[in-house]
Structure 1
Amino acid sequence: MSTWKVQHLDKPLCTVSFIITKNETYNGCNNRMHQDIGTKWVTLTLENITVSDEGNYTCEVVNEGGTLTGTIILEVLAKPFALITLTGSRSAECRAVGGHPATTVWWNSALLNEVSDTTSIEKNKTSTVISTYTPVEDNETEATCTVHHPAFPSPLILTIKIPAAAGMKNMWWVLIPVVVIIVITVIILLLWQISGLRTFSANKRGNTSEPQENPTVIVEDVEPYASFTQKVNTIYNSTSELSEAKMKDLTTDYGIQKIRF
């Protein structure tokens, strides 16, 4: 006699058995299960397997020599369908639908307060994970989510563009006129500087002239004799009173001659 004892994760124990001596089969689980008996082996086959078939499967074989028991754990992988979309003005949503076990989703360069996750269980026991990313920084224009699942040979990477924030758009309208004004101002200053250099060069060439060979020096006509005589008279009057006769004697004795300047 061979018996399969099936313990599903969310159902009570059921059995599928076959009595060789009587050639009788009993199936207390479902019609998608049936066992095949060979001379040296017993096989349980499951058709159209679903997530609900997960559980512990124990094979028990009994004969005249005794009882042989073996257990195997059945895990079912359901490959999810993943996509990324925009929701709201600046929110990106990464959705993994129909995965089993539940899919793991994370965002590149995201903070904890920028991500919110929800997981729901479908009727077929698969899971749908929805992860929403709302960037805090206004300058972020791209979002990338990575989906991990055992059914994927490698993580799935999805990227989407995020519209610029309203503040950033308004800032461009302010920055563009400012940049234009600065450029025009720089051009005007450069043109003014170039024009000033040309004017300076032209004036320099126009003022060039040969120096005069014999410049005329104007010397004011003064009367040094009068000044000298006045000075002498001042000294003369302040020192002593000399008579004209004595002055003549001095002139005669010492050979002093009057000099006119």
Structure 2
Amino acid sequence: MKAGADMKIAGKTVCVFVLLTITKVTRTVGNNSVSATVGSSSVLTCPTRSNIAMVTWKISPKDGGPCTLGYRADQNKTDRTNCSSSMNWKDIPDRDPTLEIRQVGIAHEGNYTCEVVAPEGNFHETYHLTVLVPPRLTLYCDDHGNPVCKAAAGKPAAQISWVLESNSTRSEEGHDNGTVTVLRKFTAYSTNVSNATCIMSHPSGNQSKSIACHLSRTKSFFLYVFIILFFLSIITFMAVVYYFKPHSDRLCHKNKPPATAPTDSPQDDTMEVEPYTTYVQKENVIYNSVSDLTVGQNLPQGLLPAT
């Protein structure tokens, strides 16, 4: 009985020792969320231990394939697999296995895990990197004199509000690279808006701008003139159409050709006969003159007619 009890105690001791050994050999230091602004540099630290045997960074970006950075102390050798040149060791890996990302871009967003092998055991550190893109804040007045606040191409989407909130409309537009443009239009109750202030909230930083909007008198004047000329042109056109419509009917009646074929008039017959009559009369005069001359020549000298 005593031997059996001793065996049970020894078994429990071995189990506890094994569990403690496993806990010591493999440790997860933490899972952290970090953020970096696009264009800046980001540094991800790794558990520092003396007499490091091996260090490995396993990187799984949100877009693209995974990559690894490794170091082996026994060979004093580093290697790289599918990692861009913007990611590298900050210092000598056996002294400081920190990873540095230069010129952070949207493509760098993802999970980063560091594994360290040392005499004390294996250690892991995991980060989730979020890349922030500061939006470009602009403030302007639209054609109706309403202030418009625009936060362009931000990641994540910016939050926009007005200091004196009256009535506003919000719209968003997403882009292929994950950024979002937010636009909020302030609708005032009057034509003139004095000192409207827009506030933009974003993880990369907050901004605010103010503007005074009013509808230009010049624009109003030209708008009224355009409306008046438009209506006058319509009235003039209708008047011209109304005036020329009856006159066009009369012109059509005047130019209409006669329905029956023309007939010869008596005057035309007279004009055709007169040349013949004139010719006959001239022939008669000539004949009478010749007859008189002939008769005169045959008469005695004393019987010639007096001239």
- TM tier, smaller: 0.5 to 0.7
Aligned counterparts of 2:92 and 2:180: Cα–Cα separation in 1: 37
**CA separation in 1, counterparts of 2:105 and 2:129?**
11
Match of 2:183 in 1: 130
Q: How does 1:38-77 map to 2 (within 5 A)?
A: 38-63=93-118, 66-77=121-132
Q: How many positions carry a matched residue from both structures?
A: 163
Aligned to 1:83: 138
**Shift of residue 42 of structure 1?**
0.6
The 2-side partners of 1:53 and 1:77 are apart by 11
**Deviation at residue 25 of structure 1 after TM alignment:** 0.7
CA separation in 2, counterparts of 1:119 and 1:111?
23
Distance 1:131-1:158 versus aligned 2 partners, 3 A rule: same
Unaligned runs of 5+ in 2: 1-53, 222-307
- State the SS of the aligned residue for 1:76: strand
Deviation readout 1:77-110 (Å, 9 max, x if unpaired): 3333211012222332212234333211112333
- Who is 2:172 aligned against? 118
Cα offset for 1:59?
0.4
What amino acid maps onto 2:182 in structure 1? V
What is the percentage of aligned positions where both structures have the same residue? 27
CA RMSD of aligned residues (A): 2.9
Which of structures 1 and 2 has the larger relative contact order (alpha carbons within 8 angstroms, sep 6+)?
Answer: 2
- State which of 180, 192, 212 in structure 2 corresponds to 1:161: 212
Distance 1:108 1:165, change over 3 A: farther
Aligned to 1:141: 193
Matched-pair contact (CA < 8 Å) for 2:145–2:191: no
Q: Which residue of 1 aligns with 2:228?
A: none
SS in 2 for 1:52: helix
Match of 1:5 in 2: 58
2:300 is matched with: none
Query: Aligned in 2, Cα 1:6/1:39: closer, same or farther, shift over 3 Å?
Result: closer
* TM value normalised by structure 2: 0.46
Deviations 1:106-137 (A, max 9, x none): 1233356x3122133364x44332222233x1
Question: For the Cα contact (< 8 Å) 1:3–1:60, is it kept in 2?
Answer: yes
Deviations along 1:154-184, one digit per CA (max 9) or x if unpaired, are x422222222599xx89xxxxxxxxxxxxxx
Gaps of 5+ in 1: 171-261
Query: CA, structure 1 residues 165+61, in 2 after alignment: closer, same or farther (shift >3 Å)?
Result: same
> Under a length normalisation based on structure 1, what TM-score does the superposition of the two structures give?
0.53
**Residue 109, structure 1, aligned to residue 164, structure 2:** yes
Work out which of the residue numbers 88, 92, 115 in structure 1 matches 2:147.
92
Give the secondary-structure state (helix, strand or coil) at the position aligned to 2:85: coil
* Contact 1:122/1:128 (8 A) holds in 2: no
Distance 2:150 2:102 in 1: 29
User: Any conservation in 2 of the 1:18–1:26 contact (CA below 8 Å)?
Assistant: no
Change (3 A) 1:116 1:39: closer
* Aligned match of 1:249: none
- Change beyond 3 A, Cα 1:162–1:109: same
Give the secondary structure class of the aligned counterpart of 1:41.
coil
Q: Hey, what does 1:180 align to over in structure 2?
A: none
Residue identity in the other structure for 1:163: H
Cα distance, 1:72–1:57 mapped onto 2, change above 3 Å:
same
Question: 2:181 is paired with a residue of what secondary structure?
Answer: strand
Partner of 1:206: none
1:208-235 CA-partner distances (Å, limit 9, x unpaired):
xxxxxxxxxxxxxxxxxxxxxxxxxxxx
Q: Residues 86, 149 of structure 1: CA spacing in aligned structure 2 closer, same or farther, 3 A cutoff?
A: same
Q: Which amino acid aligns with 2:146?
A: S
Greater share of helix: 2
The equivalent of 1:251 in structure 2 is none
Corresponding letter in the other structure for 2:187? T
Which amino acid is 1:132 matched to?
Answer: K
- Distance, in Å, in 2 between the alignment partners of 1:131 and 1:18 is 51
Distance (whole Å) between structure 2 residues aligned to residue 14 and residue 150 of structure 1: 28
Paired residues of 2:191 and 2:214 also in contact (CA < 8 A): no
- Residue equivalent to 1:211: none
Shift of 1:151: 2.4
Which letter does structure 1 place at the counterpart of 2:100? T
